Structure 1
Amino acid sequence: MADVEAVILVGGLGTRLRPLTLSAPKPMLPTAGVPFLTHLIARIAAAGIEHVVLGTSYRAEVFEQHFGDGSALGARLDYIVEAEALGTGGGIRNVAPVLGADTILVFNGDNLIGVDLLAMVETHRRAQADVTLCLQRVPDPRAFGCVSTDEAGRVTAFLEKDPNPVTDQINAGLYAFRREVIDSIPTGRPVSVERETFPGLLAAGATVVGHLNTGYWRDFGTPADFVTGSADLVRGIAPSPAVAVPGEQLLLAGARVAPSADVRGGSTVGRGAVVEAGALVDGSVLFDGARVAEGAVVVRSAVGADAVVGPGTVLEDVVVGDRARLGARLELRGGARVWPDVTLPDGSIRFSTDA
């Protein structure tokens, strides 16, 4: 893999993950104890790829402040900032000046994927492809870009979010590009690889092939996927060199869990966070400094930094923003979101939908 470089697109606003992304870009959200992007960079480095370029935009400075030159993860990092939103294709073209390899792997920065990167590169080279798309089979492909292939694995159609999909194969958000294809992407305007570059290559008769991933894959676009993905990493279901010892819980430095509390399901308890007596935290993420009070129940939920979940309160599939204060005996379920610095009184509030 010495002649392969990697590009990670991390410029999105992460609006579907608000309020968590009000304080940090989506790829920097704490996931199994470290920023999500750590897991991706560590997997790339473990595959033998040394040079990784981050295409940034929203809060671009945060990435370099945290990762520096990348040496701590075994990589050499470059940072290229988009002055304005350029789309996926424009973002890839924007980083071209710092690329030197013939084969470029491009990752969407919000996908957790367990594909064998070497095997994908071998597929790309064996087919002498212009672009190779990593594909994933999913039960309901309607929310994703569907990709049809023939018996030889060549892509025959790329249908972005088709309400009547003809295949269960979707675009998994990872591509291998021949360098010349990247150089052919127009500059100076937004370009979508999904809607413009890939269909244009097919129409021009280029060699576009698919590589089917049979391992783990999850798009971290929604709070439910973020929480589930973090739990999967903690438990070792999702692969990551950044997770030392998989288990049912991950307690970070200074976290305190009462002896009678129950923390399970791949939950992460952040630095200085507290889980008090009789509380249950199951398949959830508690950010640094969060507190779950006595007898509270937190299931498949994210509780932001320094937020407080009051005694006896029940959270199921809920996002609580930083510094929010939830009173006692509340019930919040089914996608409810509490924004930062909000205080909810005791007892009478019950949310059952996104709020």
Structure 2
Amino acid sequence: MLLSYAWTATGNRQESVPLIHPRRAAESTNPGNENMKAMILAAGFGTRLWPLTASVPKPLVPVANVPLIDRIISHLAVFGVKSLVINAHHRHRQLTEHFAGVQVFGLPVEVRVEEEILGTGGGIKNTEDFWDDEAFVAVNGDILTNIDIASAVEWHRSHGGLATLVLHDYGQFNKIVVDGESMVRRIPTNYDPGRKGVFAFTGIQVLEPALLQYIAPGCYSNIMDCYRRLIAQGIKIGACLVSGHRWCDVGTVPAYLRANLETSEAERRLVGKDCTIASGARIEGRAILGNGVVLEEGARVADSVIWDGVTVCEGVSITGSVVTSGRVASDLRNQAV
């Protein structure tokens, strides 16, 4: 049975999403910290990405035929991260197998499985033994960006405080109130895009290990709730404001499709390995075809993402959609199946 999801296309397009490629360790932009560590928060259920996450965990959904989490790791490696921990819950075995016995872009990766989901705060607390005495980075597992993480860490060190949130001006997601000294003043629960002096969380934060003493062990905890309590006690939480970068939240189906189609690979109409494309089939606009895709005679794919092993049957048209598996025997427009 095909699980489907449909949306209304808006036609809006943001600046192309960066797909950062790995560099050798010697080319790191952060030579001053030889032991920088990081965490990718990847234990969510992937509910907003359903039905894409019906068969794979969110970190493994492909972006231009490369798992999302591998692209995030390459970004961390570029900016000097040397070791990495990832928390996992939904379909965690797939994630564990993905990293078993390998280093990704030269980074040793440890996967911490949460049998019961612990939230952003609880997940970070659960990795307490992974950290040393230095500040570390935590990154949400559903963003693509080229933000300079090394510079954010240096900002954090120069301004002090137990934690720093990396913020930007992003209209619809703006809500965090910042004061004139670049400190977080309030973290409201509701977005307030029209207000001056409020910013959006990029999904990147820098934390001191000492912060973990304020998070209860072994239970669900939201890191933003922890920050709210600390701010109420007068403890400083920094606000590192960034601009001029690229950024995309890949957490919803429309955003996932946009992130794929705005890659340079999609512009060139990326076709994976061992694909079979009939002479009368057509690929139009921006498109990404995974490995082993079959386009039968008269099939048409436009502005869509087709995962590995999918067959688009004779005469079928797919427009603005994401297809994750199986044989597609009827037309699709603005759907995910």
Same fold (TM over 0.5): yes
TM-score by length of 1: 0.79
AA aligned opposite 2:120: T
2:232 corresponds to 1:212:
no
Residue aligned with 1:112, SS: strand
| Structure 2: unaligned runs, 5 residues or longer | 1-32
Cα drift, residue 72 of structure 1? 3.8
Equivalent position of 2:105 in the other structure: 73
How far apart, in 1, do the equivalents of 2:149 and 2:159 lie?
16
Equivalent position of 2:142 in the other structure: 110
| Structure 1: unaligned runs, 5 residues or longer | 237-245, 321-355
Residue aligned with 2:171, SS: coil
Equivalent position of 2:93 in the other structure: 61
2:296 corresponds to 1:318:
no
Equivalent position of 1:228 in the other structure: 258
Equivalent position of 2:80 in the other structure: 48
How far apart, in 1, do the equivalents of 2:269 and 2:158 lie?
42
Equivalent residues of 1:57, 1:85 under 8 A apart: yes
TM-score by length of 2: 0.83
Equivalent position of 2:19 in the other structure: none
Equivalent position of 2:229 in the other structure: 200
Equivalent position of 1:126 in the other structure: 158
Change in 2 beyond 3 A, CA 1:230/1:307: same
Cα drift, residue 276 of structure 1? 3.5
Which of 269, 287, 303 is the aligned partner of 1:283?
303
Moved more, 6-15 or 285-294: 285-294
Question: Where in structure 2 are the equivalents of 1:15-54 lying within 5 Å?
Answer: 15-54=47-86
- Identical-pair percentage: 28
Residue aligned with 1:40, SS: helix
How far apart, in 1, do the equivalents of 2:304 and 2:122 lie?
36
How far apart, in 2, do the equivalents of 1:199 and 1:163 lie?
17
Change in 2 beyond 3 A, CA 1:65/1:262: same
Which of 326, 332, 335 is the aligned partner of 1:306?
326
2:272 corresponds to 1:252:
yes
Cα drift, residue 152 of structure 1? 2.9
Which of 162, 171, 176 is the aligned partner of 1:147?
176
Change in 2 beyond 3 A, CA 1:185/1:280: same
How far apart, in 1, do the equivalents of 2:191 and 2:293 lie?
43
Equivalent residues of 2:168, 2:202 under 8 A apart: yes
Structure 1 runs (4+) greater than 6 angstroms displaced: none
Cα drift, residue 161 of structure 1? 2.7
AA aligned opposite 1:316: R
Cα drift, residue 74 of structure 1? 1.4
How far apart, in 2, do the equivalents of 1:180 and 1:259 lie?
62
AA aligned opposite 1:52: L
How far apart, in 2, do the equivalents of 1:171 and 1:19 lie?
26
Cα RMSD between the aligned structures? 2.1
How far apart, in 1, do the equivalents of 2:268 and 2:282 lie?
11
Change in 2 beyond 3 A, CA 1:316/1:211: farther
Change in 2 beyond 3 A, CA 1:230/1:198: same
AA aligned opposite 1:34: V
AA aligned opposite 2:204: L
**How many residues are paired up?**
303
Residue aligned with 2:43, SS: coil
